[in-house]
Chains A and B, each alone.
Chain A
């Protein structure tokens, strides 16, 4: 399918726009999770959000009698329960000898397991619109409506607006946690705001790309962007761009190749990351490795030359007496 045909189709246009919005928001806000070294927290949020989306569905259908798949309700449910899960994980580390990795694993699996039970209860029951909810796991971009698109754009836009308004506080808190409180900002308030925006970035993709793979939308663009940039501003901008372009491209490929959208985007993003880490001019893995090896070799030569000049005698005697094999310096000392 040519891009022209692709964009001529209304559904495909919506899929494209929907995934681009998700990629852009997650890419921009994921930068903060990445820089604060808490990337995997988004994995906990996205999995734990499952029961939240289902409770929102049930509330809408049973209590309010409205369409259970409204995007706003899903996001709300996901944000509330995803946040609860993270608070539970953090609380565990403070109250017990359980460490954060285990606390995250417990929170993630127990919430997700409860979600899977609830999912079963719903699909065994008689609820209108229940057909689509299994899609929350891997996502189904083709069911996004214009209203969904508008909702996620507005919610995502609000999260980005918060980031813009509190840019200075976010930046300070990210790079110099000790400093923020000294400046008089309420550190915990900034943390809460930043955390909420990260949660929104994580759950915004519920319907289109699913909860299970959202972690990649939050981690991969910033990790790729970081290799090309050195300021926060440029990193967030590039990360958002990578998220948007990668998601759009992945969505296009998924439709052309007939594969699920979420996984296709994840692989596209990973490709961008792999290129970034291999080929970025300043932080390429290959160039860095070479440069480091060269610097170590130069340092080594400098240090060896020093010993030859100042204490050659003692080195020679050390070389004679059963030195650790495998290090090459003893021979050089004698020359």
Chain B
């Protein structure tokens, strides 16, 4: 397999692995939490590298993913204290973890060789550097197989937990009432996201991994009305956009993840235009029909706790 094809495949598989849990991230309104996780795994990766000496080590990926859970659980805990407002808990924790990671990288802690640019947007070429060669034949980058394993893990998790994820996302109160442990599902799911983000880190860095998780999923959410369709569409958009973004970055000699983010942005804009045109046409055909009823007023809907 040629090097460029290997890098392209790595980009596509990484994008698919991220987009799949991304659908539930978007529906659970946890998008900015993924931003926090993306930053927080950096110190985990640095420490993991110092211990394992192998950026593709499964131990490193699982261990560093725990740093992502620190943000998730830490922000939940800080929020529960009632001492902080709004979305500030996660915004307090992740810059501190990220700053610690950046300092460790610049001090060459544990001889981890990442330049600060790669920390932000990843370095796909570096990740694809080590090839899996059997009997003189290259089977592509070894890291491709790591990402394939993560993709398979995500597919398996979502297949097994599909009903639990769906019902806890849609209506957590009801889910608890039928005996589902919503908190445990949330923690398990966020750990899965954290593992995915850690594994994708080399491909897309701390910031643009967020684009891979959220943008294809959001585009699919705009276009589809059934969850299975949303999942499928998200993966297709992720793969197609990854290939095109790879080309864009290749032409500009820029980071692949940046090309992917911009191309995903374009796809999202196209989807938005399609939806708007469709909406307008429907309005013209059936002028009496009310819009999406989410916009109907809920006259008594504003006392969530008591009553």
Chain A residues in the interface with B (C-beta under 8 A) = 34-40, 43, 47, 92, 95-99, 101-102, 104-106, 108-110, 112-114, 116-117, 119-121, 124, 134, 137-138, 212-213, 215-216, 219-220, 223, 226-227, 259-260, 262-264, 266-267, 270, 273, 277, 283, 285, 288-289
Contact = CB atoms under 8 A, between A and B. Distances in A.
Contacts of A213: 95, 98-99
Contacts of A266: 95-96, 98-99
Given A138-B116, A216-B96, A264-B99, 8 more contacts: A38-B87, A95-B276, A96-B275, A106-B211, A106-B268, A114-B265, A220-B95, A223-B84
A110 B120 CA distance: 14
Interface in B233-248: 248
Contact of B91 (A124, A219, A263, A283): A219
B208 A137 contact: no
Given A106-B218, A120-B252, A263-B103, A220 B265 contact: no
B215 A110 contact: yes
A289 B77 CA distance: 12
Nearest to A270: B96
Contacts of A110: 211, 215, 261-262, 264-265, 268
A42 B212 CA distance: 21
Given A39-B88, A216-B96, A266-B95, A134 B117 contact: yes
A140 B210 CA distance: 26
5 contacts: A109-B264, A113-B211, A120-B255, A215-B91, A220-B95
Contacts of A116: 120-121, 208, 254-255, 257-258, 261
A297 B261 CA distance: 53
B34 interface: yes
Contacts, number: 199
Interface of B: 26, 29-35, 78, 81, 83-88, 90-92, 95-96, 98-100, 102-103, 106-107, 116-117, 120-121, 207-208, 210-211, 214-215, 218, 221-222, 248-249, 252-255, 257-262, 264-265, 268, 272, 275-276, 292, 294
A113 B260 contact: yes
Say whether chain A's binding surface is mostly helix, strand, loop, or mixed: helix
Contacts of A216: 91-92, 95-96, 99
Given A101-B32, A137-B116, A262-B99, A112 B208 contact: yes
B83 A285 contact: yes
Indicate the member of B107, B207, B292 with the most A CB atoms within 10 Å: B207
Nearest to B93: A270
B120 A109 contact: no
B106 A260 contact: yes
Given A120-B255, A259-B103, A259-B106, A39 B262 contact: no
Given A110-B264, A113-B261, A102 B92 contact: no
B102 A97 contact: no
Contacts of B29: 99, 101-102
Indicate the member of B34, B78, B84 with the most A CB atoms within 10 Å: B84
